[in-house]
Structure formats: structure tokens, C-alpha cells
Amino acid sequence: MTLINFTKMQGLGNDFIILDYEEYKKTNKTPSELAQKLCKRNFSIGADGLIIVNPNTEKTDIGWIFYNSDGSVAQMCGNGMRCFAKYVYSKGFINKKEFSVETKAGTIIPKILDDGKVRVNMSKPVLEPSKIPVNVENNLNFDLKTDDNVFKANAVSMGNPHCIIITDGDTKKLALKYGGEIETNKLFPEKTNVEFIKIISRNEINLDVWERGCAITLACGTGACASVVAAILNNLCDNKVKVNLPGGSLFIEWNGSKNNTDFDVFMSGDAEFSFTGQVEV
């Protein structure tokens, strides 16, 4: 057995284990194997995902390796990115408050704000069905059939696929009941994250999420971004929106519209250290 050092962080209750690259290299396990072992609640540290700091990048200041708790690869994770940004800055891997990070979704640029929150440029939303990917002709308001229901769904990618359903119903109950079924729906060849959202006003929404590879979580940063984009494209929200999730609130800005979607999405929110420790692997 090998003893490695880890840090636990959370963003709105969405929690992550962070390993320095040197700690990861001490193990003889793949990132997928480590994620499944370390993220298992009640039997190990427990988390929604595993983040490994990757200092070996050429075109960006730093990079990350990210895996969901079930061992699957995640192209992006908004809450994880805020935690990662705060970690590498506080640990001295990066000596500037705004920097570039290499991810499987492309280059992401976080910024540490003076109040301790982290603002992340999440890049542009992907709305072309084949690139999300989703097997429909139009990514907005398409019919999504489940065993006992038909929803009007919207598909958006923020580096990872999202299915957003706007409802007047109980978003938590709907996410619990339908999240798993929709995640694996045949319309989504790479599976999907699932968001049920309720519009409170043109500047505020409520959201419950079923995350691909994680099931129900307390928050999802990319899901908040994708949901705001979908709400704006449906002309239900303005360009700055407070998103209320079970773990807290995020603030999303997108200056796009149905006529011009060529704008980056910005997400702002908390990221907190939980604890550090050692674990045998």
C-alpha cells in the first residue's frame, strides 16, 4: 500500500479530491481506478470527482485531469474548476490571479476575485446538435420521451452535454425520478447531464441536477451555465442570472441571444477548502 497526500474542496457542496501530480505518480493506478476508489462515500474519502493537477502543459499556464466518481472522464466541471483555480493559486503553482487551464473541453480561464470567489470564463456554449452531441435536428424544445412522460427539452454543451428541461413542477422530485433515465437516453450518444429548472424571474432561476456519472449532486457549474443559456434562448431570462442550487447560488452572465450566440459564458461563485489528509491506495 502507498500513502498519498490529498486535499478535499467543495463548491456549493459539489465536492472534489485534489491530488498533486507527484502524489498521483506514487500510485500504480489509473486516474479512473483512483477516482472509483477514493470517491466512494462511506468507504473512502468520498467525493463527486477526482482532480489531478497537471503541470506538464505547453500552451496553457497549467492543466488538470478530471474524473467523475464512477471513473468516467469529464470534459469540464464548473464547480471543480473554481476549486482547482483556488487550490493551484493558494499552493503557489500559479502566481497570478487570472490564468489559463488546459481541459478536455479546451482552454478555460479562471480568475480569483478580491472577495475570495472565483470567476470563470467558461468559453462559448455549443449549440450545434452534432457537437453537443444530441441526435435531433434542433437543440431547442425537442420532444424527449421517457417511460411515462414526454418533456420539451433543450440541449446545450459547455464542454460536456446538458439536457435542460424548463418546468413549473417540483425540480427536485423530477430530477430524482427522471434524471437517470434521461442521462442514458438514446438521443445522447455520450450520455448527458440533466437539469430541471424553474424560472423565478428574468434574473433568477431554481435548478436541480442529475450529473452524468455522479447522479444527484448539490450543484453543477456547467449545468448552471447551460441552463441560463437555454433560458435566454427561450426568451425567459435576461443576460445576468442568479442560479439557486441545493448547495447555494451561482451567478451566470451571457450576453448572447437567439440572433447572436457568439459570446463567452461567465460563472462566479464560492470555492472552499474542506480538509487535507493522507490515504492509503
Residue appearing with cell numbers 441571444: 257
Active site residue 220: yes
Tell me how far apart the alpha carbons of residues 266 and 254 are, in angstroms, rounded to a whole number.
7
Cα-based distances in Å from 227 to 25, 251, 264: 37, 12, 14
Catalytic residue among 39, 77, 163, 214: 77
Active site residue 214: no
CA-CA-CA-CA dihedral for 90, 94, 97, 102, to nearest 10: -120
Catalytic residue among 39, 220, 225, 237: 220
Residues belonging to the active site: 77, 220
